[in-house]
Structure 1
Amino acid sequence: MFARLKKDIQAVFDRDPAARSALEVVLCYPGLHAIWAHRLAHSLYVRGWVVLPRFISNLARFLTGIEIHPGATIGEGLFIDHGMGVVIGETAEIGDNVTLYQGVTLGGTGKEKGKRHPTVGDNVVIATGAKVLGSFTVGANSKIGAGSVVLSAVPPNSTVVGIPGKVVVKDGCKVLSDVAANIDLNHDNLPDPEGEMLLCLHRNMARLEKRVAQLEEELKNRDPESV
């Protein structure tokens, strides 16, 4: 238990440059408090308890703004940055060394029974406000861009942006052996497929306008009276 608590604290130091001391992390990081409360609630939940784990979950939500259902399975090294508005559903599964930013939802899409929440692989980063909805897998070492809505499976080593989310980078970088190096926190440095498409349309329009002007000039030189 103490080894796991130590890993939870170390995850904060690895991914938050604002962390100054272990005492500060233990006392002042709501994401860490929510994870610890969940570990207690989950241990009771898997033993058949229902009301008490839900009460602990609701108390943690009241204190931290982070809602984690007691049934969710969470690996080691989860880091929830700030965390306000984070929601993790009952059948969600989260691997090791995952990073969630504020406003992230790991939710379902309806009232279906059984597995209805996503499975998140190791070393995944899900940026601010992203919604991952449904029973599918987000592959290891992937990044979900801020504000994205992901409704289908994400291959490993991929970057997803947009609504609905689309894979824009796959196998773009080598996976390193060191755990801390594997965690790519540059979730602000993402492609913009919509912006690239608009730029492409702008270039095509400029090219067509230039070509029309050339044709008008040629027509004018051939028959000035027709223009």
Structure 2
Amino acid sequence: MFDRLKAYLDSVRARDPAPRSRWEILLYPGVWALFFHRIAHWLFEAKLFFLARLVNHFSRFLTAIDIHPGASIGSNFFIDHGFTVIGETAEIGNNVTIYQCVTLGGTNPANGIAGKRHPTICDNVIIGSGAQIIGPITVGERARIGANAVVTDDVPEGATMIGLKARSTLVPAEEWMREFIPYGTPCDDPCEPSRDCIEKLEGEIAELKAEVETLKRLAMPREMAKRSGTDD
């Protein structure tokens, strides 16, 4: 048990440079939220729904993180900071990192029948702060969800999703992705093909401007000659 706890704390420390010791990590609200969720989920599986909800509400009061007791969560799950909501039918794999103010939300079934309403997050996914992942979609392994992205469609394995509504950068992760990127949001990495397109277009515009200036210089003597002939 202590070895598993030690391994979990070390996995958190590998993703967060702030803590100076494992003891400090034990104060993190995300760690406590996961601890209480394990208890609540066990009660939920035993069909002790009221007690599961009671633990859930106490955890939310203490940590500002709301994880429904029915949600399924794998190993080494890390919520960095709080104000995160995870719905009942959400499924989260191993080594997933979520930052603050993230919602794994559900759709409202039109027929009123409860079912799979929340996302499935596969292994090694990073979800940036403020991201909203809505509906029974699947976020593939090693995908990155950028800050404030709104995702309502399946995410391919290794893709980085940005924007509102989120779009894929279409760059294979294995070409440039480091093992871990804070907030799931690349800053200086060449993650967007549009950057190359913009630079190419800017280069073409500069060439066109140079050609126009050259044509102007060539046309000026002719224009002056015409004016001189008219004056004579």
Please give the range of the TM-score, normalised by the shorter of the 2 chains: 0.7 to 0.9
Conserved 8 A contact 1:130-1:147: yes
**Structure-2 residue corresponding to 1:32:** 31
Identify the range of structure 1 (197-206 vs 157-166) with the bigger mean alpha-carbon deviation.
Answer: 197-206
Q: CA deviation at 1:133?
A: 1.7
Aligned mates of 2:200, 2:100 — CA distance in 1: 33
Q: TM-score, normalised by structure 1?
A: 0.81
Instruction: Tell me the alpha carbon deviations over residues 101-124 of structure 1, each in whole angstroms, 9 at most, x when there is no partner.
Output: 112221134445421211111111
SS in 2 for 1:122: coil
Note if contact 1:78-1:97 (Cα within 8 Å) is conserved in structure 2.
yes
Q: Is residue 107 of structure 1 aligned with residue 109 of structure 2?
A: no
Query: What residue is the counterpart of 1:220 in the other structure?
Result: 220
TM-score by length of 2: 0.79
In the other structure, the counterpart of 1:170 is: 172
Q: Is the 8 A contact 2:145 2:185 kept in 1?
A: no
Where does structure 1 lack aligned partners over 5 or more consecutive residues?
176-181
| Structure showing greater Rg | 2
* Distance in structure 2 (CA, Å) of the matches to 1:213 and 1:135: 57
Alignment of 1:1-227 (within 5 A): 4-26=4-26, 28-82=27-81, 84-111=82-109, 113-168=114-169, 169-173=171-175, 183-186=179-182, 187-190=184-187, 191-192=191-192, 199=199, 202-224=202-224, 225=226
Percent identical: 43
Query: C-alpha distance in 1, partners of 2:103/2:193?
Result: 23
Which sections of structure 2, spanning at least 5 residues, go unmatched?
Answer: 228-232
Letter of the structure 2 residue corresponding to residue 125 of structure 1: I
Report SS of the residue matched to 2:40. Answer: helix
Cα contact 1:91–1:117 (8 A) shared by 2: yes
SS at match of 1:38: helix
Using the TM superposition, give the Cα deviation of residue 8 of structure 1 relative to its aligned residue in structure 2, in angstroms: 3.2
Give the count of matched residue pairs.
218
Q: Deviations over 1:56-105 (max 9, x none)?
A: 222211211111111111000001112x2211111111100111111222
Letter in 2 for 1:79: F
Residue equivalent to 1:178: none
Decide whether the 8 Å contact of 2:74 with 2:92 is kept in 1: yes
Q: What is the aligned partner in structure 1 of residue 230 from structure 2?
A: none
The amino acid across from 2:186 in the alignment is N
Residues 67/221 of structure 1: CA separation in 2 closer, same or farther (3 Å cut): farther
SS across alignment from 1:157: coil
Aligned residue for 1:106, secondary structure, equals: strand
In the aligned structure 2, how far is the partner of 1:164 from the partner of 1:195?
19
Match of residue 179 from structure 1: none
- 1:197 and 1:149 mapped to 2: Cα distance? 25
Instruction: Give me the whole-angstrom Cα distance separating, in 2, the residues matched to 1:23 and 1:60.
Output: 20
State the Cα deviation string for residues 125-172 of structure 1 (Å, max 9, x = none): 112222222211111122222222222211112222222222222242
* Matched residue SS, 2:174: coil
Q: CA deviation at 1:198?
A: 5.3
Kindly provide the amino acid, as one letter, of the partner of residue 114 in structure 1. Answer: G
Supply the distance in 1 between the matched residues of 2:109 and 2:16 (Cα, whole angstroms).
Answer: 37
Q: Which amino acid aligns with 1:101?
A: Y
3-state secondary structure, aligned to 2:209: helix
* Contact 2:80/2:98, CA 8 A, preserved across alignment: yes
Q: CA RMSD in A?
A: 2.8
